[in-house]
């Protein structure tokens, strides 16, 4: 299997980690779209949100709990946005589920 995020998780591709526990890792996006742009990534290889199963429910909760720790660490207590691109139509490019955590300035127009 050829997955960039699995390679980052294994340490074979370098990244700037901002958080790690037994289930989730978070690192800076290579191409940041905001002053803070972190990717929160479950360590288990799951291709997308659409590929989640019942047994992964806890993992998604853990990813969101990690965002609180990251917010405190990176000074995002005033707010941040979490985005998941799922599948082709949403423009998902890396086929390993991840949540973009964006912040560090007041955000512009919301999609929804
Ligand atoms: P997607 O488009 O799948 O929602 O988001 C994939 C994200 O992964 C993009 O924001 C892209 O910049 C980031 N990305 C792709 N390859 C790498 C990499 O090798 N390292 C890091 N840190 N981020 C990456
Ligand atoms: Zn993977």
Render pLDDT for 30-48 as a digit per residue (tens, 0 to 9): 999 999 999 999 999 999 9
9: helix, coil or strand? helix
Q: Is 23 marked active-site? A: no
Q: Is 85 in the pocket of ligand 1 (CB under 6 A)?
A: yes
Q: Which atom of ligand 1 is nearest to the CA of 83?
A: 4
Give a yes or no: residue 31 inside a domain: yes
CA-CA distance, 37 to 28, in Å (whole number)? 6
Cβ neighbourhood burial of 1 (10 Å; 0-12, 13-18, 19+): exposed
Domain containing residue 16: 4-103
User: What is the count of structural domains for the chain?
Assistant: 1
Give a yes or no: residue 88 inside a domain: yes
Beta-carbon neighbours within 5 Å of ion ligand 2: 3, 5-6, 45, 96
Q: What is the pTM of this model?
A: 0.97
CA-CA distance, 99 to 77, in Å (whole number)? 18
Annotated active-site residue in 37, 45, 98, 100: 98
CATH of the domain at 27: 3.30.428.10
Residue 58 has pLDDT above 80, yes or no: yes
């Amino acid at each position: 299997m050829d997955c960039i995020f699995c390679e980052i998780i294994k340490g074979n591709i370098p990244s700037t980690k901002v958080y790690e526990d037994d289930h989730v890792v978070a690192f800076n996006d290579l191409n940041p779209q905001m002053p803070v742009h972190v990717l929160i990534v479950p360590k288990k290889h799951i291709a997308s949100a659409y590929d989640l199963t019942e047994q992964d429910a806890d993992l998604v909760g853990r990813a969101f709990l990690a965002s609180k720790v990251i917010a405190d660490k990176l000074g995002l207590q005033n707010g941040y946005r979490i985005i998941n691109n799922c599948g082709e139509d949403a423009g998902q490019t890396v086929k390993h589920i991840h949540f973009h955590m964006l912040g560090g300035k007041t955000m512009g127009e919301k999609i929804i």
